[in-house]
């Protein structure tokens, strides 16, 4: 495996006010970055219910949430176009950002900003999902989509340095810094069928077999940095190693099961990316940048001799990545005109579209009339934390339009740490 390593020495004059100015600039850049990308998962109908559709998905929605539910999907569904964007971070709310933008930061303000950032660092997520075409006929479907995902994490000590400067006899460590991102297209063939039946319940199974065409992949293989300030000198080092490719291909498999109790509850279990492997083999580039510095002080008249840096690019062999595996368990039932759903989501790694923190989802859909269906939902935990969602579906004969919006990391507009929006149109027969 190639590695790209960068060592960066940062030199601050103790007591300087430059960190305050740089803090404002840096936080502004980070907020803009966190809202310029996108993060999207699943169907627009599910978005309006905060993502709770593992048991209730039907038609093309079943491809995204549980392919076993294709066995419960009569008729034909043609997805015309859809897009969903979602951005989030784990530290700065909209209210906090508005407070610090353009303001002079006193000691209390800087302490508050630092306390907002978790010990694990500032995480930014930016992903997108778009669908160009999908066709479901009975228990089979074929879909074409484009996926993009990215996540980065900056060590909390970096913000300590930016906000308060380098303190005497203190070592700043930037080692908890990492990130990855990718863009790819996927074609999925999906199938669901009944596998077992009794008088009390019926079991169904299903799968998505996927082909991936990768366009871009980048990840940080290694990153660390330290800086120490003493009465005699400032010294430190930093290292960043990245791997990059501009093309590849691979395959994946999603699995699902469903259990339906007659005239009662439906339960679902699904594994996204149960298997996935993408081999990146086009324009593979590994870059290594390093910097090391020592004996930086006011008496040193040759700082060039005290700082050593190197920037090296390697071109070479292919490598493979996988997509994060996620398990979802759901239940759904209909009560009159209301469809109610509850989901439990568990990721097996913390990556751009998954988290090891469990997520609980509650969602509802109201069949108000044939042409207007409002939806709402709430989720706790997971990658983005507390979220509220709302949306609606409009229908005019076979033509359907769905829209949804969601807060991320907060239940109010000012307290949110991100947002999502999705819309799509389809034909249903």
Instruction: Give the count of beta carbons closer than 10 Å to the beta carbon of residue 316.
Output: 10
What is the token pair recorded at 52? Answer: 């709770």
List domains and CATH numbers for the chain: 18-428 (2.40.160)
Cα 90 from Cα 92, distance rounded (Å)? 7
To 10 degrees, what angle do helices 107-116 and 18-36 make? 40
pLDDT one digit per residue (tens) for the chain, 429 residues: 443 333 333 333 333 333 333 334 444 433 333 333 333 334 789 989 998 999 999 999 999 999 999 999 999 999 998 998 888 888 888 888 788 787 788 888 888 888 888 888 888 887 888 988 899 999 999 999 999 988 888 888 888 888 887 777 778 787 888 889 999 999 999 999 999 999 999 999 999 999 999 999 999 988 888 878 787 777 778 888 899 999 999 999 999 999 999 989 999 999 999 999 999 999 999 988 887 877 666 666 666 666 777 888 888 789 999 999 999 999 999 999 999 999 999 999 888 778 899 999 999 999 999 899 999 999 999 887 889 999 999 999 999 999 999 988 877 777 888 888 999 999 999
Residue from 412, 403, 353 nearest 378 by CA: 412
- Tell me the three state secondary structure of residue 187: strand
CA–CA distances in Å: residue 138 to residues 33, 101, 189, 277, 426: 42, 53, 13, 29, 16
Cα 355 from Cα 324, distance rounded (Å)? 9
Q: What is the pTM assigned to this prediction? A: 0.82
Cα 68 from Cα 70, distance rounded (Å)? 5
CB of 110 within 8 A of CB of 164? yes
- Tell me the three state secondary structure of residue 153: strand
């Amino acid at each position: 495996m190639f590695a790209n390593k960068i060592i960066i020495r940062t030199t601050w004059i103790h007591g300087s006010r430059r960190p305050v100015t740089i803090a404002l600039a840096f936080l502004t850049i980070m907020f803009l970055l966190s809202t310029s990308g996108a993060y999207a998962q699943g169907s627009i109908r599910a978005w309006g219910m905060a993502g709770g559709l593992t048991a209730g998905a039907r038609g093309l929605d079943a491809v995204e949430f549980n392919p076993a539910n294709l066995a419960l999907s009569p008729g034909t569904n043609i997805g015309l176009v859809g897009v969903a964007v979602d951005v989030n971070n784990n530290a700065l709310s909209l209210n906090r950002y508005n407070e610090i933008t353009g303001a002079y930061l006193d000691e209390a303000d800087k302490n508050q900003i630092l306390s907002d950032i978790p010990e694990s660092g500032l995480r930014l997520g930016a992903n997108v999902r778009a669908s160009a075409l999908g066709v479901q006929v009975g228990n089979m479907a074929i879909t074409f989509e484009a996926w993009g995902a990215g996540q980065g994490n900056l060590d909390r000590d970096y913000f300590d340095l930016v906000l308060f400067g380098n303190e005497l006899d203190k070592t700043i460590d930037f080692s908890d810094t990492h990130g990855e991102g990718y863009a790819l297209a996927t074609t999925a063939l999906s199938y669901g069928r009944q596998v077992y039946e009794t008088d009390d319940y019926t079991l169904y199974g299903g799968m998505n077999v996927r082909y991936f065409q990768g366009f871009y992949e980048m990840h940080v293989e290694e990153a660390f940095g330290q800086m120490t300030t003493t009465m005699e000198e400032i010294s430190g080092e930093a290292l960043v190693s990245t791997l990059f490719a501009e093309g590849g291909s691979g395959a994946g498999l999603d699995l699902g099961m469903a259990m339906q109790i007659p005239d009662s509850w439906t339960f679902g279990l699904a594994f996204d990316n149960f298997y996935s492997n993408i081999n990146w083999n086009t324009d593979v580039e590994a870059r290594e940048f390093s910097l090391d510095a020592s004996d930086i002080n006011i008496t040193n008249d040759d700082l060039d001799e005290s700082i050593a840096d190197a920037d090296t690019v390697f071109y070479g062999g292919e490598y493979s990545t996988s997509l994060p595996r996620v398990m979802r368990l759901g239940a759904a039932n209909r009560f009159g005109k209301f469809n109610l759903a509850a989901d439990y989501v568990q990721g097996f790694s913390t990556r751009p579209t998954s988290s090891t923190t469990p997520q609980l989802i509650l969602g509802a859909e109201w069949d108000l009339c044939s042409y207007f269906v409002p939806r709402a939902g709430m989720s706790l935990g997971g990658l983005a934390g507390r979220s509220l969602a709302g949306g609606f579906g409009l229908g005019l004969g076979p033509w359907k339009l769905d829209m949804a919006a969601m807060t991320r990391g907060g239940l109010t507009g000012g307290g949110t740490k991100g947002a999502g929006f999705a819309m799509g149109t389809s034909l249903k027969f």
